[in-house]
Amino acid sequence: MGFSDWPLADITPKTTGTVLFGGKQTFSCKIDVSLLNEKNKTLSKSSITLNSERIELTSPSVKITNSVIGTVNFPNIKAEDLTPSLTIVIDAVNGINARNLNASGYMKIETGDLDKRKNEREVASLVRVEGGTFQMGTASGGNNDERPVYVVTIKTFYMGKYEVTQKEWKEVMGNNPSYFKGDNLPVENVSWLDAIEYCNKRSQMEGFTPVYRGSGNNITCDWNANGYRLPTEAEWEFAAKGGKNNSTVEYSGSNNVGAVSWYSDNSGNKTHQVGTKEPNSLGLYDMSGNVFEWCWDWYGNYSSSAQIDPKGPVSGVSRVIRGGGWGNAATGVRSAYRFDGTPSFRSGSVGLRLVRSSL
């Protein structure tokens, strides 16, 4: 027994719904819940077991005299599959006589109007970065730590279209450490250790396998896990340079720094809403400027030989930070520019961008 065709104003890829079920007997049953879009594509499936003392549901006025409330999580919903109207299908799977079950319900969505929320939903989207080979580093000019230039081959991965916003951070961590406040501003003033914790917590909230284990300087990474993680330095530069297209422009997406970057000459000494400059050729925004982004790697010298998916030194003192920020001059927001900080370092110009090895 089930119900369907309940219109929703909006739903985000990370959503919790509240469903009310009614029946005329004491029961304990497993409920399967499916979420479909307007094209009848199943976006996600979940289940919940409910236990109730005598439930009364009056028809046709649907007056609930008593109810059981269950929370259902819908993981793995892709933003591109969302439509203004969604369908919830609920089925009693076992433990109850269907003739005595009147299933009714609603989704409690605290997300607002669909069109007004379009930007927030897109923030969570990931861009497929097709694997390939590129030249990492700077042959001439730049800084000494950008050499030697060497050949790097990268496997396909998925990278956040935008830097993690303050809204996304608050939803997972329950706080906002940022110096500049605003839901759609990039989160900043977060350490590498904070970023690792965020990745794992968000993975767990969305039903993915956490990537990181350990604590302090003894954190390990499961590269095969499907959860969120920080990019390696090589992945970051590969994506900043346009992936396998291996762009030779100086900044991520252009030789015109002001077109793609919030930096010292145009930022007004503050961060700006993500995605308001032009993207690079992969559709990634703010890879140059706005805020620096933490990477996985310990900071160290480049290799002199070709590498496949390098992960950086096995140990070190500081972790790599890339991309430059709102306070940097143009030279500091180049795609090849490198910076670093200790794992506990925090700054109002340092944030993060998420990646996943697989979906």
Tens digits of per-residue pLDDT, 329-350? 999 999 999 999 999 999 999 9
When pLDDT is cut at 50, 70 and 90, the band that residue 23 belongs to is: very low
Within the chain, which residue ranges are assigned CATH 3.90.1580.10? 125-356
- Centroid of chain to Cα 196: 13
Tens digits of per-residue pLDDT, 271-304? 999 999 999 999 999 999 999 999 999 999 999 9
Q: Does domain 125-356 have CATH number 3.40.1280.10?
A: no
Position 106 scores a pLDDT of: 33
Are the C-beta atoms of 227 and 243 separated by less than 8 Å? no
Predicted TM-score (pTM) above 0.85:
no
* Other CB atoms within 10 A of residue 73 CB: 15
Q: Which amino acid is at 282?
A: L
- Predicted confidence (pLDDT) at residue 109 exceeds the cutoff of 60: no
Tens digits of per-residue pLDDT, 230-250? 999 999 999 999 999 878 899
Long-range CB contacts for residues 235-238, cutoff 8 Å, separation at least 24:
235/129, 235/154, 235/157, 235/159, 235/295, 235/309, 235/355, 236/293, 236/295, 236/322, 236/323, 236/353, 237/134, 237/136, 237/322, 237/335, 237/336, 238/129, 238/132, 238/134, 238/136, 238/152, 238/154
Beta strands in 55-185 (DSSP E): 57-58, 63-64, 68-74, 87-94, 101-103, 126-129, 132-136, 150-154, 157-160
**Rounded to whole angstroms, how far apart are CA atoms 252 and 330?**
12
Q: Which of 8-12, 16-20, 31-35 has the highest mean pLDDT?
A: 31-35
When pLDDT is cut at 50, 70 and 90, the band that residue 42 belongs to is: confident
- Predicted confidence (pLDDT) at residue 19 exceeds the cutoff of 80: no
Coil vs helix vs strand at 258:
helix
When pLDDT is cut at 50, 70 and 90, the band that residue 216 belongs to is: confident
Tens digits of per-residue pLDDT, 65-101? 333 344 455 555 565 555 544 555 555 444 333 333 3
Q: Mean pLDDT across the stretch 175-181?
A: 98
- Centroid of chain to Cα 295: 15
For the chain, percent of residues with pLDDT exceeding 70: 66
**Rounded to whole angstroms, how far apart are CA atoms 153 and 43?**
34
**Rounded to whole angstroms, how far apart are CA atoms 31 and 53?**
16
Q: Mean pLDDT across the stretch 156-164?
A: 97
User: How far is CA 217 from each of CA 292, 314, 315, rounded to the nearest angstrom?
Assistant: 21, 11, 8
Mean pLDDT of all residues in the chain? 78
Tens digits of per-residue pLDDT, 127-158? 999 999 999 999 888 999 999 999 999 999 99
Q: Mean pLDDT across the stretch 174-188?
A: 97
Position 17 scores a pLDDT of: 36
Position 28 scores a pLDDT of: 46
Position 217 scores a pLDDT of: 86
**Rounded to whole angstroms, how far apart are CA atoms 214 and 201?**
14
User: How far is CA 58 from each of CA 22, 112, 177, rounded to the nearest angstrom?
Assistant: 9, 30, 49
